[in-house]
Structure 1
Amino acid sequence: MRTRPLKVVLLGCGVVGSEVARIMTTHADDLTQRIGAPVELAGVAVRRPSKVREGIDPSLITTDATALLKRGDIDIAIEVIGGIEPARTLITTAFEHGISVVSANKALLAQDGAALHAAAEQHGRDLYYEAAVAGAIPLVRPMRESLAGDKINRVMGIVNGTTNFILDKMDSTGAGYQEALDEATALGYAEADPTADVEGYDAAAKAAILAGIAFHTRVRLDDVYREGMTEVSAADFASAKRMGCTIKLLAILERAADGESVTARVHPAMIPLSHPLASVREAYNAVFVEAEAAGRLMFYGPGAGGAPTASAVLGDLVAVARNKLAEATGPGESAYTQLPVSPMGDVVTRYHISLDVADKPGVLAQVATTFAEHGVSIDTVRQQGKDGEASLVVVTHRAADAALSGTVEALRKLDTVRGVASIMRVEGE
């Protein structure tokens, strides 16, 4: 066993970084045995050096992350800063100075993953990022290593714990969106500004990363269709229950039937209560991977939090450290297929549409004609009327998203349609 320690620096020391430092200290002996050499925390770059950080030697604290990376004796950098800059520049600097990187930065990887992988390959270094998607759940490495010999056709999952907590509370208690959000905030599941979560940006970044790995093609954040869940209402949940469904914010990545393109999307959807994702409660994450040979695989567990995310970071640290000792690198970017990302209009699925209409004869026939004119077949219709007004709920057969969008625009122009209350996709059947 090598006795000279591998030197590790932390870039960022918030909730996750602090937990990483704690585990490195308390499990130092175990990590040494698993890696084959000791690992030493050699520096911690932070923005606020005056903040007390329990268990971290104050002499390791610095505000000059660049100087830390340029010291010349650092082996591995753990980036848990988040955001685009300065993280991007620091990771690139690390590669230039012979340092491999472990990152938890989903936003950066979704935006500039290709450039970062290219820089890592150019300098013969590792870039690992298990913690960037689904917290403690082993997902990235199984997809890019364990399933490397298989063909993945579809990935569907819950990859944001905050939104799942909110939707779960709306489903189980009948709470409205704001009430459920307030509870999530009080319990620490939601940030003071929850926009990244509830508008789907966080899930879309994770979807871009997973799509690139699953389909061996470059998928950027801008390629992912995104809808938030702020418009999901108690009425939507009531309709879902009547259909034997619940509602989840899903990331769905699919290879086209002809294998010539892929799609990536994030949006609320109704899923049957019989589907395993329907039973994912609270702030947990779960991802279904469908592969040709392996079949359906489900990955489940806590998707966020200091300790779970630190677990994923430390797993990557062990893998990268082993590679360093073997003078090798792990798998890099695999983008050989160069498949185009199709627009949302090409996606084919079922839809649940709720309309506010006039309660008079002929309305249903007019609505049905509009659907038929746009090539969207109706599966079921439910109508309730009172005092001259009615609610009309239409569930379609599978149709292209573009056809459904054209149908909705035409419905809005009908005199008898007073409003489109909600549109929800139906998945997982």
Structure 2
Amino acid sequence: MTNPSELKYLNGFGNEHETEALPGALPRGQFNPQRCEYQLYTEQFSTTAFTAPRHSNRRTWTYRIRPSIAMGDFTPMDKGLIRTAPITEADCPPNVLRWDALPMPQVPTDFIDGMITVAANGDARSQVGIGIHVYRANTGMGQRVFYNADGEMLFVPQQGALLAYTELGILHVKPGEILVIPRGIKFRIELPEGPVRGYICENYGAALHLPERGPVGANGYANDRDFQYPVAWFEDQDGDYEVVTKFCGNLYRAPVDHSPLDVVAWVGTSAPYKYDLARFNVINTVSFDHPDPSIFTVLTSPSESAGVANVDFVIFPPRWMVAENTFRPPWYHRNIMSEFMGLIEGVYDAKEKGFEPGGMSLHNCMTPHGPEAAVFEKASAADLKPEQYKDTLAFMFESRYVIAPTRHALESDARQHNYVDCWSGLKKYFNGDK
């Protein structure tokens, strides 16, 4: 087993990377030689169809100690509070919804057992839509590994660092960074700094990629060079391991007599990656009003309609606000898109009370929302000067499909049933005589 402390990262979003943990393990000039160095097996991993266009084709060749099929049969296991779209167990209300941060577990709980589904949309079997989960854990996965056949997983840590041991290498991810693990990649989560909590967007649809910049030009937003991929790392260990998979909304387990994380070398375009959100180059107004929140899009999963996302991952990071003669918080609005928000740290400018780090809110299609009454009063009377928003980081999963909460989320003690009251102080100022 290679030493994780010696790992470096390969940079660049969507590039074809190549890396080997042992010299000469990666074939040169071809992908599938008759005999591999070190007597490894060749296995191709594809997350798009073979015939997908070159610019969107994602596949990786792996060179491993044993092929993935060297395992036992899967058997069903309890899926706990994990749910998958379509959500049919409860009606989806049009109300504004908000939840406090979910408490940490009080008994030993690993990543799989600590995952709770909050909401979902689309249909996982049709590869449309998303699932939204909260993860909480206080112990590592040990000899369990997990892969998700239903979708790729975007991790947004809120508390505690993750050490993700994946088939293709190791990534250390802390709050303020994100982790994306492609559909089907096996991994285990360890906790190098104690208990963890965060959010997951399970993307059933087209793989996440960087949005176009349009008139912004060649620079700004997230830059390709800032995305980091792991270098090859492997375990050559025998023992009683367990592979857990999420498949068609259910969980299954299978025995395996060795570590499945045994890829010695790989080359390709489909691999886990991380990104530091502090490297996002914010674009904003320097005159009046402010642009749509799409200017804060880090990653997007397109739908069949151009410009209408299956899901956008949007952040609201530290930034300067300088707009003149402008109501600076988000305006009151109703959207065709549905919005799920979470707070990593600090205070979100439109919700100064009740929206705590680790909390979340859901404003669905055409449900009206906007700044709470106290924020409106404050912003309307503010002496507008350049102002720096510091020590804050919120995010949004925005989707073209209605996001349906689970029964557990609707009935949870963490739900703020009086959320709508934050707008109860909105006053009538209309003066028809002026």
Shorter-chain TM band: under 0.3
Specify the structure having the higher radius of gyration (Cα).
1
TM-score (norm 2): 0.23
Structure number with higher helix proportion: 1
TM-score (norm 1): 0.23
Higher RCO structure, 1 or 2 (CA under 8 Å, sep 6+): 2
Structure number with higher strand proportion: 2
